Structure 1
Amino acid sequence: MKRYLPIAGLSVAAVITLAGCVSDNDTTTPVAEPTASTQGTASPTESSAVVSAEHNPADAMFAQMMIPHHQQAVEMSEMMLAKDDVSPEITDLATRIKAAQGPEIDIMTGWLEAWDRPVMPDGGMAGHEMGGMGGMDGMLDEDQMADLEAAEGDDAVGLFLESMIEHHDGAVEMAQEEIDNGEYPAAIALAETIMETQLAEIQEMEQLLAEL
């Protein structure tokens, strides 16, 4: 399992500022951008910001791959929130993951729409070796998701924590790729936020798992 040192990146509030820094020749489309929250995660603003047309393939791939990755994390969190026999610590964690990643999905979808890029990469999931989601950047396959949904009590908690740690590791890898190779400032800033938030959650989950 890879680990990365947290990056002293841009604050989420900087995403809005950077998103507005476009040249006179840029074509723009109104799309909601991230804003700061007390949890340090991104959420759409009530008033739309401007999305620059300037981006590179790494920016588009970051959004295209992170959207389904986030969607699965939200689904995993919803599974835990639907269970009656889990601790308040797990419920709180699942609630925070869902609250952070849901709005980020909307933000990245807006970018792709503004760039006239498909939400799913060319060739679909299989074209990027995602084959049923499993095996790509810590994502669970259908059987693993079914196991998580069916599990109860401590079994469910342990499975959730182990799976989400791997899932977060995958997100951190994709975020690092965007930081290294991306061009669009708002996407780079969001990648830094994802890294900071999810590295902290990995530490939290490892502690919860050790106490289980």
Structure 2
Amino acid sequence: MRKSLIGLGVAGVATVALVTGCGSGNDTAGMQHSSTTASTPAAGQQADHNEHDVKFAQEMIQHHQQALDMAKMVPGKSTNAKVLDIAKRIEGAQDPEIKKMTEWLTKWGAAPTSTSMPGMDHGATGSSMPGMMTAEEMNKLQQANGAAFDRAWMEMMIKHHQGAIDMAKTHLEKGSNADSKKLAQEIITAQQAEITEMQGLLKSS
């Protein structure tokens, strides 16, 4: 009887050791799993944008470039100080934004849209984007001068700005990158203010 009890005791110790050993193995597996899980946020941080962020940057670069082409026409065709000032501000704001979006696309491994295309090409290339001028409209604007140019330019720029605002509003809904959504909001605010300003000038002219 005594030997049986001793035997049971030894068996119990062996069982405890076996269970402990299994527990230790599970802990190790759990640690490995936790380590893998911990690395996931780092990967998520790299994926700080979605497809719409890329599309927004590529299309807005092209959209901005046409606005720059239009703004650069003004000094040679207008003597209106207020129109000259608006054009200067548009150029001063949108050129840095093009550079910023180009940097994002490079960081994201996406091909930036060319910013060196002649203005006459933008109508055909960007006709699917809201507010883009056609090649014919750009040609007509190029041929105008003085007060006729000022009116045509402001009417076209209002349309162009409204297109950019529509694009930016869509991006606020579909984009995921915080910086690009911040830029979208800045575009909405700045260009809406310029639309209001140009509408006022058209009414007073």
Under a length normalisation based on structure 1, what TM-score does the superposition of the two structures give? 0.69
**In structure 1, what residue type is equivalent to 2:162?**
D
Contact 2:124 2:135 in 1 (8 A): no
Considering fraction of residues, name the structure with more helix. Answer: 2
Q: 1:27 to 1:82 in 2, by over 3 A?
A: farther
> 1:93-115: per-residue Cα shift (whole Å, max 9, x none)?
00000000000000001101110
3-state secondary structure, aligned to 1:25? helix
Please list the CA deviations of residues 153-180 of structure 1 after superposition, one character each: whole Å capped at 9, or x if unmatched.
Answer: 1110011000000000100011001111
Identical-pair percentage: 37
Contact 1:134-1:142 at 8 Å conserved across structures: no
Instruction: Work out which structure has the larger RCO, using CA pairs closer than 8 Å and 6 or more positions apart in sequence.
Output: 1
- Give a deviation string over 1:146-203, Cα, whole Å, max 9, x none: 1111110111001100000000010001100111111000000000000000011110
Aligned length: 158
- CA distance in 2 between counterparts of 1:27 and 1:111 reads 17
1:76 aligns with 2:93: no
Runs of 4+ in 1 over 2 A off after TM superposition: 130-136
Counting only pairs closer than 5 Å after superposition, residues 1-80 of structure 1 correspond to structure 2 as 25=42, 53-80=47-74
- Provide Cα deviations, 1:109-138, integer angstroms capped at 9, x if missing partner: 1101110112239xxxxxxxx743346311
Report the structure number with the largest CA radius of gyration: 2
Q: Which residue of 1 aligns with 2:202?
A: 209
Q: Which amino acid aligns with 1:54?
A: D
Q: Distance in 2 between matches of 1:58 and 1:135?
A: 16
Q: Give the CA deviation at 1:24.
A: 6.7
**What's the C-alpha RMSD, in Å, of the aligned pairs?**
2.1
Q: Which runs of 5+ in 2 are unaligned?
A: 1-39, 115-122
Determine the C-alpha separation between the residues in 1 that align with 2:135 and 2:158.
18
Tell me the equivalent position of 2:190. Answer: 197
Aligned residue for 1:55, secondary structure, equals coil
Matched, 1:139 2:156: no
* C-alpha separation in 1, matches of 2:172 and 2:63: 17
Q: Secondary structure at the match of 1:183?
A: coil
